[in-house]
Chain A
C-alpha cells in the first residue's frame, strides 16, 4: 500500500473519539445526532454499539470513518487526527482507503462483480499489487470456493462474508461495521459476527460494530449503548 497514507503506527489505540458533537438537519428539523461522545477502541478490540433507530449509531460510524466532520471534538484513527486532513474529500478518501475498512448492511456488494473481483477492485482502487490474489482472504472467510460467484448467486450470509473479506483487503487498522446481521437469520447472524470477532483478533483490527441484534453481543469485548446521541455503557 505504498501509494496510500497507511499509518504504520505502534499505537494500540485504533479509534479515539473525544467530546464529539454533531448536529444534522436544518431549522426546526435540526437534531443533535452526537452529543459529547467519547470512545476509545484498541487494536484487536471488538466493540458493539446498540441502540434504537435514530439514536445516532450511523452518525458515529460516519464521523469515525472520516465520512462526516463533527461540529466539535477530536477524532483520531490510528493516532492520526482526522481534523488535520482538512475538508478535502480526496485526502479523506485516501485516508479511508489506507486505514479504514467498512462492512455495510447486507454486504452491499457490486452486482456486476464476482466475489473475487469485489476484492480485486478494492485492491486496484488502493493501488495494490498487480498480481493480487483474493483467494487467501476468501478462504479465510470460508468462501474460497465461491470466488467466481456474483452477489446474486450468494446467500445473505455469504454476501456479508465477502463484504468482510473486501473490508480487509487493504489491511486496515480500523474496521467499521454497519448492521451486519440486518438481513440474516439467527444462525447466520451468529456465524457472521463470530467471523468478524475472529478476523478482529487475527488481524489486530480495532472493530466497531453497530447493531440492533442483541443475540450476537456475546462475541464482543465491550458493548455500548447509544441513545439520543449519547454513548454509555450497556447494561
Chain B
C-alpha cells in the first residue's frame, strides 16, 4: 500500500470528489434501507412480534389481504392441533375497522383477535393485557393519535364501544394501520354483525352462533419443524411460514419490491461509478505504471496496490456516508415510516463496498495488459 496511500494523499481532490459520490450513495442507501425497514415495520410489525411459526389460511385463499379474506372452522383448528410437531394451534380473527375516539378523532384499526391467556396474548408496555370483552390492547404508535389507557373507541356503523386497557411493547401495525388486540369473542360479535351499540356483553356472546376465525396461528414444538403440507392435507388449509405471511399484508409485496429494485439500481450505479473512476484513473497514470513495470514491478503488485486504494476509498467514504445517513435518519419526522436497523444497513454497506471493489477490479486489471515497453520515450 506504499504507493496507494501516497497517491490518495497526493490526489486528494480527485479521490475526495469520487469519495463524495460514494458517500452520497451510502447516504441514499441508508435512507432506502431505513424507509424499507420502516415500511416493513408499518406493514407487518404486528405479525413480526407474534410468537408464531406459521399461519394456516382456509384452502385456496388469495394471498393478498388473506388475513381478512380467510375463514377457518373449528374442525380445521382441531386438525392442526393434533398434527405432529405442533405445540399450539390457536384461532385468530382479523379485520380492519374505522372508528372514533371519545374526543372525535377518526382512527383506523387492524383487529387481531386472540383468546385471552393464549400464547398469542400481547405483552403490554403499559396497562393490562386482554381479559374483559370490551378491553383492547393497541399499538404503542397509536399514542400519536392521542389515544391513552382508558380511551373509549367507538366502531363506525356498529357503535360498539371498546376501551383501551393497554399498549403493546413496541410498534404493532399491519398494513400501515395500528393493531388493536381484542378477545376472540368480541371479534366474533363484530365480524358476524351481531355487535350492539355500547360495550359488548357476555349475554351477546352467549347468544351468538358464530364460532369461526380468520386463520390458525401455529407454534412449533421447540427444535422441531411443522410439516405444513401434511397439516394442510389434514385440515384443508393453506399454511405459510410467518415470513411468507407478510405478503398477505396489503401492499407489502409491492412496497418492498419497489424499494428493493431501487436499492439494486443503486448498487449497480455504485459499481459503475467506481469502475468508471478507476478506469479513468488507471488510464491517466498508464505511463507511470509502464515505468514501474519496466523497472521490474509485477502486474500483481500494482493491481493489489490499486485495489487497496479502492478499498480504502470505499470503506472510508461508505462509513462517512453511513454516519451522515444515520444522522439524517435520526432527524426524520415522527410520522414517517423510517427505521434505522443495524443489520440491513451493514448488509447494504458491505454490498456497496463489494460491488464497488468489483467495479474497481474490472478497471484496474487493465494494469496487467500495460506493456512496459511504452515507458521508453520512442515507444510512446
Contacts and interface: CB of A to CB of B under 8 A. Distances in A.
B2 A124 contact: yes
B296 A108 contact: no
Interface stretch (A76-84, A91-99, A184-192, A194-202): A91-99
A203 B11 CA distance: 36
A112 B12 CA distance: 11
B294 A89 contact: no
Nearest to B300: A90
Residue picked from B294, B296, B375, most chain A C-beta under 10 Å: B296
A119 B26 CA distance: 38
Interface stretch (A12-20, A36-44, A62-70, A139-147): A62-70
Contact of B10 (A58, A93, A112): A112
B378 A126 contact: no
A31 interface: no
Contacts of B288: 108, 110-111
B297 A125 contact: yes
B377 A179 contact: yes
Contacts, number: 88
A150 B7 CA distance: 12
A61 B374 CA distance: 12
Nearest to A68: B373
B3 A67 contact: no
Contacts of A102: 291, 294-295, 375
A184 to B, nearest CB: 14
B3 A58 contact: no
A121 interface: yes
A95 B298 CA distance: 11
B315 to A, nearest CB: 20
A152 to B, nearest CB: 10
Nearest to B8: A112
Interface size class of chain A, counting residues whose CB lies under 8 Å from the partner chain: 35 or more
B243 interface: no
A67 B296 contact: no
Given A93-B296, A97-B296, A112 B3 contact: yes
B11 A94 contact: no
Given A113-B6, A124-B2, A104 B376 contact: yes
A104 B7 contact: no
A179 B376 CA distance: 9
B293 A117 contact: no
A15 B379 CA distance: 22
A166 B253 CA distance: 63
B3 A111 contact: no
B287 to A, nearest CB: 7
Nearest to A65: B294
A194 to B, nearest CB: 21
A18 to B, nearest CB: 21
Residue picked from A62, A126, A166, most chain B C-beta under 10 Å: A62
Given A62-B376, A102-B291, 15 more contacts: A58-B376, A62-B379, A67-B375, A97-B295, A110-B288, A110-B291, A112-B7, A112-B10, A113-B3, A117-B6, A121-B292, A124-B2, A125-B295, A150-B10, A178-B378
27 contacts: A53-B378, A54-B378, A57-B378, A58-B379, A62-B376, A67-B373, A93-B298, A94-B298, A96-B296, A97-B296, A97-B297, A98-B296, A102-B291, A102-B294, A102-B295, A104-B291, A110-B3, A110-B288, A110-B291, A111-B288, A112-B9, A112-B10, A117-B2, A120-B2, A125-B292, A170-B296, A178-B377
Interface of B: 2-3, 6-7, 9-11, 287-288, 291-299, 301, 372-373, 375-379
The 4 closest A-B pairs by CB, nearest first: A97-B296, A58-B378, A112-B10, A105-B377
Interface of A: 53-54, 57-59, 61-62, 65, 67-68, 89-90, 93-98, 100, 102, 104-105, 108, 110-113, 117, 120-122, 124-126, 150, 166, 170, 178-179, 182
